[in-house]
A = this chain, B = another copy of it.
Amino acid sequence: MSQKIDFNKFAKRERVNFINSLSGFKSANLIGTINSSGLSNLAIVSSVFHIGADPALIGFIIRPDSVPRHTLINIRDTKKCTINHCGVGMTEAAHRTSARFDANTSEFTKTNLTEEYIDSYIVPFVKESPIKFSASLIEEVVIKHNGTHLLIMKIDKVYLCDRKLIQEDYAIDLEGAGIACISGLNSYHQTELINKYPYAKVDI
């Protein structure tokens, strides 16, 4: 028998923790950006989600009044970012990027994560990240009900630490790459495959 939970009675912080965990497990990505003075920024973001394969699009949510504001400012300026998957050995450093460092501090200097510049792209990648890609802003949607911003980005160039991570069906083996996932605001998890099912058909 299910138990109804009246989250409207929760205090503010408790409500934030409860609702943030309610959507399920989330992707763990470090978003790299650069400001107009050439200073890099790195922010852990758990809202990156798939929008479409062709054109190759992802989206993520940025709250302008919360920690990764520099990310939003920088992407508006340059239209560019890098998205770097967080490996299971990178979670402590990744989480540290969520501290409110000022605009003159690059999170790269406050963690053991290493700036990596690839193919003359102006925004740094995270060297330690096994799966990473560059992306360009194509649309900013304001969610009018709470003032958050949905950034829709086109996937440009993809880099893997090892081409063998591409499976027979061309899906990337995230688990084999040791990628973490997130629950709530601050729990990081590794994964264990339950099963990979074939394309579902009505008759089977």
Number of copies: 2
In Å, the complex CA distance between A154 and B179 comes to 30
For residue A139, CB closer than 8 A to chain B, the reply is yes
Contact with B along A128-170 (1 / 0, CB 8 A): 0001110000110101111010101011011111110011011
Contact with B along A73-107 (1 / 0, CB 8 A): 00000000000010010011001111111000000
Q: Are A24 and B28 in contact (CB under 8 A)?
A: yes
Q: Assuming the A-B contacts A27-B24, A163-B5, are A51 and B148 also in contact, with contact meaning beta carbons closer than 8 angstroms in the complex?
A: yes
Q: Are A61 and B53 in contact (CB under 8 A)?
A: no
- B contact residues around A52 at 8 Å (CB): 19, 63, 143, 145-146, 148
Q: Are B3 and A160 in contact (CB under 8 A)?
A: yes
Q: Assuming the A-B contacts A131-B22, A189-B192, A197-B92, are A172 and B145 also in contact, with contact meaning beta carbons closer than 8 angstroms in the complex?
A: no
Q: Are B171 and A23 in contact (CB under 8 A)?
A: no
For residue A122, CB closer than 8 A to chain B, the reply is no
Closest residue of chain B to A204, judged by CB? B99
Taking the closest CB of chain B, its distance from the CB of A72, in whole angstroms, is 15
Taking the closest CB of chain B, its distance from the CB of A57, in whole angstroms, is 6
For residue A21, CB closer than 8 A to chain B, the reply is yes
Q: Are B200 and A194 in contact (CB under 8 A)?
A: no
Contact of A171 among B169, B185, B188 (CB under 8 A): B185
For residue A35, CB closer than 8 A to chain B, the reply is no
Q: Are B21 and A48 in contact (CB under 8 A)?
A: no
Q: Assuming the A-B contacts A172-B21, A196-B187, are A53 and B16 also in contact, with contact meaning beta carbons closer than 8 angstroms in the complex?
A: yes
